[in-house]
Amino acid sequence: MARREKDGFWVKTAAAVFYPITWLGKRVTRGAERIPRQGGAILVLNHISHLDPVVDAVFVHRNKRVPRFLAKDSLFRIPVAGKIIGGAGTIPVYRGTSNAADSLRAANEALAEGKIVVIYPEGTITKDPDAWPMRPFPGVARLALANDVPVLPIARWGTNHILNGYTKTFRPFPRKTITTYVGEPVDLSQFRGEDPPTNTTLMRVTDVIMNEVKTLLAEIRAEQAPAGFFNPKKAS
C-alpha cells in the first residue's frame, strides 16, 4: 500500500477545515487510481464553482497526495485563509504584472521536486451559460511541455449545484452528488521538441488537454459537449 505524501502543519490545518465542507455533497469518483502515488504530475480540471478548490483538494488528499494549486495572488492577502493556503504550498499567480512568469517558475520547481500541481486553465469559474469549459489560457501547455510528467485531465460536476457563483445561490439541501472523473494521461509526444514552443503549439496543446476534460465532463453529464470553447469576450 502506498504511503501518504508528507504534508505538514498547514496542510493538516487546511484538511481540518476542508474535509467537513465536502460533506455537503455525496462523492462519486472514477479513475482515481490514475493519480500517481509518487512523483510529479499535472492535474487539469474544469472550473464551475467557487467550491471546486475545496472539493478538489480533498479529493487529491484522499488519494494520499498533497495538491499544489495555482491561485490568484489576491487570495494570499485574505486574513487567516491566505496564511493557510500559502503554508499549504499553494502557488500564487501574478496576472498582468512583471511577476507573471514567477508563478510558472514556482510550478516548474514543484513538479521537478515530484509534487502534484493542480491547475484550472480557464482561470476562473466558467462563464459558459451551460457550464461547459470556456476558452482556456495556455499556461497549462507551458507547464506540460516543460516537464516530463503525466498530464491528467479531470472533470468534476455537481459543485455548481451547491454553490453557484453567478446566481449567488447556495443550496446545500438536499445533498447533491459531486462526481470527479480522472482520465488517462494526455499523450503530448507529438508536440515536444520545440524550444521554446510557438504560440500556435501552445494553443494546440491547451485545446488538446481541455478537450479531454470536456469529453470526460460530457460523459458525466450524459450530454453532447459543444464544439469549441465559449469565449466570454466575444459574448459580451
pLDDT in tens, 36-50: 999 999 999 999 999
Give domain limits for the chain.
Answer: 28-221
> Would you say residue 87 has pLDDT above 80?
no
> Would you say residue 103 has pLDDT above 80?
no
Mean pLDDT, the chain, rounded, equals: 91
Determine contact, residues 140/119, Cβ cutoff 8 Å. Answer: yes
136-177 tens-digit pLDDT: 999 999 999 999 999 999 999 999 999 998 888 999 999 999
3-state secondary structure of 40: coil
What is the CATH class of 28-221?
A: alpha beta
Tell me the backbone φ, ψ of residue 151, rounded to 5 degrees: -115, 110
* 93-97, 114-118, 206-210: segment of lowest average pLDDT: 93-97
3-state secondary structure of 214: helix
Give the rounded percent of residues in the chain with a pLDDT score beyond 70. Answer: 94
Spatial distance between the Cα atoms of 151 and 44, rounded to a whole number of angstroms: 7
Assigned C-alpha cell, 194: 520545440
3-state secondary structure of 62: helix
* 67-76, 81-90, 146-155, 187-196: segment of lowest average pLDDT: 81-90
